[in-house]
Structure 1
Amino acid sequence: MAVMRGLVLLFLVFSVENAADCIAEDCSFGWTPFGVECFKFFSQTVDWVRAEKNCQSLDANLASVHSKAQNEFLMSLVPVNTRVWIGGHDAEMEQQWLWTDGSQFDYTNWCKTEPNNNQGNEHCLEINLTDKRCWNDHTCTFTKGYICARDHR
């Protein structure tokens, strides 16, 4: 019985290691896996529209966020005190937030009093605002780094 448990344990260890290797291999160099996607932070500062176009040129979109764990993962890619673009926007209808990848807007981490559409001109989503590292709606023409996401390859 002890031998059988040992074999099962050995099998599980190798299975988990191989699964992790497969996930890591599915992301191109410089991209980091999380769930079924690969993510990459770009420090080049551009406006929100250019950030989305840059992501699309890599067969990706600006990142969407669907859980606290995923939000924390994205924060781990971003230097502290660096505000960056992700794929949320309410440009089509105020307070109707959408992701550029078409997925459901089912998680938020807004800062207190956000989104506020300050001066009626904040329609794009930035993350890593304040020491709380929360979300803010911001004017889309400001330049920031950004995070792209794409399916595993």
Structure 2
Amino acid sequence: MFIYWIVNLVKNCPYGWTNFGVQCYKFFSQTVNWVTAEKHCLSMDANLASVHNKIEQDFLLSLLPSSSTHCWFGTHDGNHEGQWLWTDGTPFDYTYWAPGQPDNLHTENCGEFNFNSKNAVWFFIYNNYLQSYNFTSTSNVN
């Protein structure tokens, strides 16, 4: 599963998308690996969602159908180990890692939302080519 945002400048969010600030977001219930989720987003001129503050994170979490939902989002360190980036190129200026994360166990390279107790925290995930989760996408609105 994944959430992504549309990069195109549009006056309103497309049908089925949710507006938040100047962006449109959509949760996708397909279970795919991180690379496939980002490619799907790119095919719609969008990216996996980036998170820049707690308010935005809480909004993204509100799009998930349940607290047991694992969801890809747009962070990775695939270019340089330990140097986190957003797929949309925005500054990596906010984190909410789970305790002990990122731990680089088994050369993990991408991020997921995962509920830990009552909070949704970020995990550093092993082998993005094999894990399959939902995703959320996001895009700018004008």
How high is the TM-score relative to the length of structure 1? 0.80
Partner of 2:30: 44
Query: RMSD over aligned Cα, in angstroms?
Result: 1.2
Q: Which residues of 2 match residues 98-109 of structure 1 at below 5 A?
A: 98-109=85-96
Deviates more, 1:74-83 or 1:122-131: 122-131
Q: Which has the higher contact order (CA 8 A, sep 6+)?
A: 2
Partner of 1:12: none
Give the number of aligned pairs: 128
Higher-helix-fraction structure = 1
Q: Which residues of 2 match residues 1-153 of structure 1 at below 5 A?
A: 26-78=12-64, 79-119=66-106, 121-131=107-117, 132-139=119-126, 140-141=128-129, 142-152=131-141
- Counterpart residue identity of residue 55, structure 1: C
Shift of 1:95: 1.2
Deviates more, 1:130-139 or 1:55-64: 130-139
Shift of 1:94: 1.2
Partner of 1:9: none
Which structure is larger by alpha-carbon Rg, 1 or 2? 1
Distance in 2, matches of 1:122 and 1:29, equals 35
How high is the TM-score relative to the length of structure 2? 0.86
Unaligned runs of 5+ in 2: 1-10
Distance in 1, matches of 2:58 and 2:114, equals 10
Higher-strand-fraction structure = 2
Shift of 1:128: 2.5
Shift of 1:129: 3.5
Unaligned runs of 5+ in 1: 1-24
Shift of 1:130: 2.0
